[in-house]
Structure 1
Amino acid sequence: MLSPPSQLLLRNEALFATGKWAIVNPSDTAIFDALSDADVCGLHQQCDSYNRAKSNSYGHEHMFAAAFSKSDFDAVFDGVVVYLPKAKQHLDMLLANMAHLIKADGLLLVVGENKGGIKSVPKQLEKVGINVNKIDSAKHCGLIACTVSEPAEGFDINQYGVVRNYHVNAQHMRVFSLPGVFGHKQFDQGTQLLLAQFSDERELRQMRGKLYDFACGTGIIGAYFKLTNPKLNVTMSDISALAVYCAEQTLKLNELEAKVIASDGMQDIHQHFDHIVSNPPFHQGLKNEYGITQNFIKNAHAKSNKGSRLTMVANRFLPYPEHIQSTYHKYSTLIKTNKFCVYEGIK
């Protein structure tokens, strides 16, 4: 069944009757099947959405990237629809990117739920276009449009990036972040508590083998271990193309080398590890989603060597201890605050 934003979009499918269109970060890829007769391609920054769209063979072109350029396509678009992201700054970045891909007098639209902030979108669209208006509203959603009279000459994602200097235990690090990525402009308290459990540099230098940072975000966890112990073989992954880009930039800023992979959970992780360290997500869009981390705990155990450790931080209210305890040979809580817990499982 189509999500409410997609249902609203389908009510206005006459928009797609002529010209070449792009749909950006759809909340459900079934919209492409519903628009099977339209000349529509999908632009994805989440690899789960991208993989579903590709595998279902909707007959449309799909791309996965942190940012998109004119050289990626045969022609500029007559119109683009952006599904409203959670962060306003992320939307600003997407609109600027899409304004570069639209032909003169092309349409740029945003669709989303009222509770997601669609009512504030007109002010954001005024930054890139003219004739801003609400096309339709239903099912607690809105569809807002503007005309891009003069397409932007170019788009540089790095203009939206922020570099912060952090002291992580005894190490100084530079961290790159983008809007829409966990850890943007801040050193998350949970991550700080997690890394505080690895403050003994002598013990860190004695670590050997392969380390995995799941849901790496800006890459601060994996980069910290690589910076402290260059002998570690570090792999980081995230479902977001933006996060993968941030982690790669963080590694460059600190002159480090590690593998960064775009992966839906651990689906594209094909090796076993000696250490797994993570501050895993529990949100999917605006909703809490505990299944992501529950699957991660199960898959982390399956892709660990005997004796390896899983160390993860989570909000205290999240129901993860029983999953670690039932999956791993040994389980312990390393530290507990009024907000976070750091858990450890040993295979």
Structure 2
Amino acid sequence: MQDITSTGIYGTPPAELAEAPAGSIQFSPLIPGSRRLEDQAEGSLTDMVVLAPPGTVERRYTAALALRALAPGGALTILAPKDKGGSRLAKELKAFGCEVGEISRRHYRICSCTRPAELAGIEEALAVGAPRFDDRLGSWTQPGVFSWNRLDPGSDLLGRNLPALSGRGADFGCGIGILSRIILSSPKVSHLAMLDIDRRATEMAARNVEDARAEIRWADLRSGVRVAGLDFVVTNPPFHDGGAEDQNLGQSFIRRAAESLRSGGVLWLVANRHLPYEGVLKPLFKRVTLKAEASGYKVYEAQK
């Protein structure tokens, strides 16, 4: 008989709104080292606390995974800001066959329910949120990953302006590998470290980039990931954290690139036109050149 004693948590919900018991297993794909909720045995958890993702498909997929992992009668607490899916949580849980209690606090909707003996609509939600091959992208992708169902215009602009690179380099925030494939089209590239904070992105990148020169790593660049002596870094850095604009994210990518490059190495960066990255680039690089500007984006080449 299976020993059902574990509790789980997905993401980092505000502790004052929903605190998971000490020792809970972290399942967020955005926290490196976390477990895969997809792999958790059905009916193996007693409790689960979920900070729900904002995207509808990803949110329903995550809720379905959480409910599947709970034992019948196990408790689920799931919450989200009202304007980022919270207002729809109760309806979505009821569609899975749950009886839902709901409260509002600090602009969040917090829903609680127990896992019913029989769930409804779980398989459909799991199928819709699962990895799939996108013919338009020519790539494997998954809902929730950055620009999962369209070619990001910033990455497109950067990819069209990249020269044939050479030596050892990195793709910071590689996503599903769109830019990495362009980088690796140059036979002079000897090694490419592909790093992303999203586990799902690295899993899709592993399907999309089948090249012995590529090393794919699930990692948070802000936490001291060590790569050094690089000839080049390519990046389309994020500038949103939890849905809110955070310019410090892109700035931290620039600083990490400067630390990772050898003297004379180059950074290729794309950014939204309104982001003030020049002030961070110029003190760290001896030459900063605007190489392209279109559709609200700008591409820089910066030499260490």
- TM category (shorter chain) comes to 0.7 to 0.9
Is the Cα contact below 8 Å between 2:58 and 2:129 reproduced in 1? no
Is the Cα contact below 8 Å between 1:46 and 1:239 reproduced in 2? yes
Deviations 1:195-235 (A, max 9, x none): 0103xxxx62xx32112111111111112222443743111
1:116 to 2:80 alignment: no
Report % sequence identity: 22
Q: Tell me which of 184, 192, 203 is aligned to 1:234.
A: 192
- Determine the structure 2 residue equivalent to 1:250: 208
- Determine the structure 2 residue equivalent to 1:309: 266
Is the Cα contact below 8 Å between 2:290 and 2:301 reproduced in 1? yes
Runs of 4+ in 1 over 6 A off after TM superposition: 29-32, 151-159
The structure-2 alpha-carbon separation of the partners of 1:29 and 1:260, relative to structure 1 and needing over 3 Å to count, comes to: farther
CA offset at residue 132 of structure 1?
A: 2.7
Unaligned runs of 5+ in 2: none
CA offset at residue 67 of structure 1?
A: 3.7
After TM superposition, the score normalised by the length of structure 1 is 0.76
Is the Cα contact below 8 Å between 1:162 and 1:185 reproduced in 2? no
CA offset at residue 256 of structure 1?
A: 6.1
Q: Tell me which of 12, 32, 38 is aligned to 1:26.
A: 12
Is the Cα contact below 8 Å between 1:265 and 1:292 reproduced in 2? no
Is the Cα contact below 8 Å between 1:275 and 1:309 reproduced in 2? yes
> What is the RMSD of the two structures over their aligned residues, measured on CA atoms?
3.0
Deviations 1:70-95 (A, max 9, x none): 35x9x711221210212222112211
Instruction: Report the 3-state secondary structure (helix = DSSP H, G, I; strand = E; otherwise coil) of the residue aligned with 1:295.
Output: helix
The structure-2 alpha-carbon separation of the partners of 1:35 and 1:126, relative to structure 1 and needing over 3 Å to count, comes to: closer
CA offset at residue 186 of structure 1?
A: 0.7
Unaligned runs of 5+ in 1: 1-17, 51-62, 167-172
The structure-2 alpha-carbon separation of the partners of 1:158 and 1:329, relative to structure 1 and needing over 3 Å to count, comes to: farther
Is the Cα contact below 8 Å between 2:229 and 2:260 reproduced in 1? yes
Is the Cα contact below 8 Å between 2:64 and 2:126 reproduced in 1? no
- Determine the structure 2 residue equivalent to 1:76: 44
1:180 to 2:164 alignment: no
CA offset at residue 330 of structure 1?
A: 0.3
What residue identity is the alignment partner of 1:265?
Answer: L
Instruction: Report the 3-state secondary structure (helix = DSSP H, G, I; strand = E; otherwise coil) of the residue aligned with 1:96.
Output: helix
CA distance in 2, matches of 1:276, 1:291: 18
The structure-2 alpha-carbon separation of the partners of 1:29 and 1:110, relative to structure 1 and needing over 3 Å to count, comes to: closer
After TM superposition, the score normalised by the length of structure 2 is 0.86
Deviations 1:129-150 (A, max 9, x none): 321331x222221211333224
CA distance in 1, matches of 2:227, 2:16: 29
Q: Tell me which of 180, 189, 209 is aligned to 2:167.
A: 209
CA distance in 1, matches of 2:227, 2:15: 26
The structure-2 alpha-carbon separation of the partners of 1:229 and 1:99, relative to structure 1 and needing over 3 Å to count, comes to: farther
Deviations 1:43-81 (A, max 9, x none): 23223xx6xxxxxxxxxxxx614544235x9x7112212
The structure-2 alpha-carbon separation of the partners of 1:298 and 1:70, relative to structure 1 and needing over 3 Å to count, comes to: closer
CA distance in 2, matches of 1:83, 1:158: 20
1:278 to 2:246 alignment: no
CA offset at residue 30 of structure 1?
A: 9.0
The structure-2 alpha-carbon separation of the partners of 1:183 and 1:244, relative to structure 1 and needing over 3 Å to count, comes to: same
Deviations 1:250-296 (A, max 9, x none): 224xx665111122125223332111111100000121111111122
